[in-house]
Chains A and B, each alone.
Chain A
Amino acid sequence: MRGPLRRPFPRDWFVRKGAYRRFMVREMTSVFIGGYIVFLLVWLYRMGQGPEQYQALVEAMRHPLAVALHMLALAAAMYHSITWFNLTPAVMPLRIGEDRLPNVVVAITMGYLPWMAVSGAILWGVLR
C-alpha cells in the first residue's frame, strides 16, 4: 500500500501558458521600476553635490545606452501601470445600489484619469 500520490505543480509553470507568462512579465517590470527609484535617488544625491557633479550626470544621460535604458524603463512602467489599472475593478468594485459599475468605468475613474492628471501636472511643471 503506497497511499496517495503527490503531484507537485510543474516547476516551469510560468512558461507553460500565455496567462502565466504575462503575469511573470508584469512581475519582472517591477525590477525596472525599482531600478528607476534607485536611479532617482542617485540623481538627488548628485544634485546635492553641486552643479559640476550634476552637469556631469546630465551629460552622461545623453549617452545612447542611457536613453535606451530610459525608454525600456518607460515601456516597463507603462505595461505595469496599464495591466494594473485594468485589474483595479476586481480589487475595488464600485456599486450603485444593486448594480456594479462596468469595469471600464472603474478602470478609467480610479486609474487612467488620476494617472493622466498627475502625468499632465508633471509635464506642465517641466515644460513651463
Chain B
Amino acid sequence: MADRRITLEVFRYRPDGDGEATIQDYRVPYHEHWVVLDALNWIKDHADGTLSFRWSCRMGVCGSCGMMVNGEPRLTCAVFLKDYYPSPIRVEPLINFPVERDLVISMDDFLAKLQAVKPWLIRDDEEPPEGEYRQTPSQLAQYKQFSMCINCMLCYAACPEIDGIPDFLGPAAIALAHRYNLDSRDQGQSQRQEALGGEEAVWGCTFVGECTAVCPKNVDPAGAIQQAKVASTKDWYRHVLLPWGKR
C-alpha cells in the first residue's frame, strides 16, 4: 500500500521566543483508525519534539485534549483523520483562553470560576452522617446529566459571550452549580446564588446554545443555564415577596 499522508496545520506559539504565533505544516502518516491526537503524538515522537499539547486518557474521559479542529472545539481523541482526508486539518488551541505554548491553554481562570460556585455538597444543619446521604433513583435522575461534565472546556471555546464578558461564569461552571442545586442532599443554593444570579453569570447568557452542541458528554450546559435562570427568578420573587423568609 502506498504511503498515504495527511497534512496537519498546527498552531505554534512559544512564550519565550521572539516571533508571533505561526502555523506549521506537518505531513503525517494517514491511517483510517487514527484520530487527530494520534497524529499529534506521531509529530511529537517522529517529526518535532518541541510541539506541546495536553492529553491523557485517549478515550474521551479525562477532558485534556480539547483543541480547535478546523475551527470547531473538539476532543482530539475523538476526531478521526478519515473524516477529513485528503484535506488538511488545522489544529489550534481552544479559543477564548490565553495560550501558554503551542496548543496548551491556561485554565487558571476556568478553575477559579468552578470554585466560585462551591461545587460540593453544602449542609447547614448537621455533621456529616456516619455512612452516606441516601438518595432515590428519581432524585439522582434530577441532576445526573449535569454531573457528567469532564471539564474539557469545549463549551467555553464555543461561547461567543465569554469574549465580551471576560468574567462570565460560563457554561460548565453554571451547569455544575445547577447540578448541586438540584441534588436532594444539598442545602447550599442560597450560598451559590450570589455567584450564579448576576449579569456575569446566568443573565450573561443569550442562549446561543453552542455549548450544548459541542459538549462531548451530552451535559446540556445551555439547558442548565436556562433552568438556573428560572430558579434565579423564583429566588428573586421569593426574596421580594417574602423578605422575612429564609433565602
Q: Which residues of A contact B (CB under 8 A)?
A: 1-10, 13-14, 16-17, 19-20, 23, 27, 87, 90-93, 95, 97-100
Contact = CB atoms under 8 A, between A and B. Distances in A.
6 contacts: A2-B17, A7-B93, A7-B95, A20-B208, A90-B220, A95-B142
Please list the 7 inter-chain residue pairs (A to B) with the smallest Cβ-Cβ separation, ordered nearest first: A90-B223, A4-B98, A9-B163, A91-B226, A5-B99, A98-B141, A97-B138
Interface of B: 13, 15-17, 21, 71, 93, 95-100, 106, 137-138, 140-142, 160, 162-163, 206-210, 212-213, 220, 222-223, 226-227, 229-230
B122 to A, nearest CB: 24
A17 B21 CA distance: 24
A4 B208 contact: no
The interface centre, meaning the residue of A90, A99, A100 with most chain B CB atoms within 10 A of its CB, is: A90
Contact of B230 (A16, A23, A92): A92
A19 to B, nearest CB: 6
A23 B209 contact: yes
Contact of A90 (B71, B98, B210, B226): B226
B99 A8 contact: no
Contacts of A10: 95
B52 to A, nearest CB: 13
A3 B163 CA distance: 19
Given A4-B106, A19-B209, 20 more contacts: A2-B16, A4-B15, A4-B99, A5-B15, A7-B95, A7-B97, A8-B163, A9-B95, A9-B96, A9-B160, A9-B162, A14-B160, A20-B160, A87-B226, A90-B226, A91-B226, A92-B227, A95-B138, A97-B138, A98-B138
Nearest to B13: A5
Contacts of B137: 97-98
Contacts of B95: 7, 9-10
Contacts of A93: 223, 227
Contacts of B230: 91-92
A73 B155 CA distance: 34
A52 B21 CA distance: 70
Contacts of B229: 91
B168 to A, nearest CB: 12
Given A7-B93, A8-B163, A13-B160, A19 B210 contact: yes
Contacts of B208: 19-20, 23
A115 B222 CA distance: 24
A9 to B, nearest CB: 4
Contacts of A8: 96, 163
A17 B97 CA distance: 20
Nearest to B226: A91
Given A7-B99, A9-B163, A98-B138, A91 B227 contact: yes
Given A9-B162, A87-B209, A95-B138, A3 B15 contact: yes
Contacts of A98: 137-138, 140-141
A93 B144 CA distance: 13
Contacts of A7: 93, 95-99
Given A6-B98, A7-B93, A19-B213, A1 B160 contact: no
A92 B128 CA distance: 33
A2 B142 contact: no
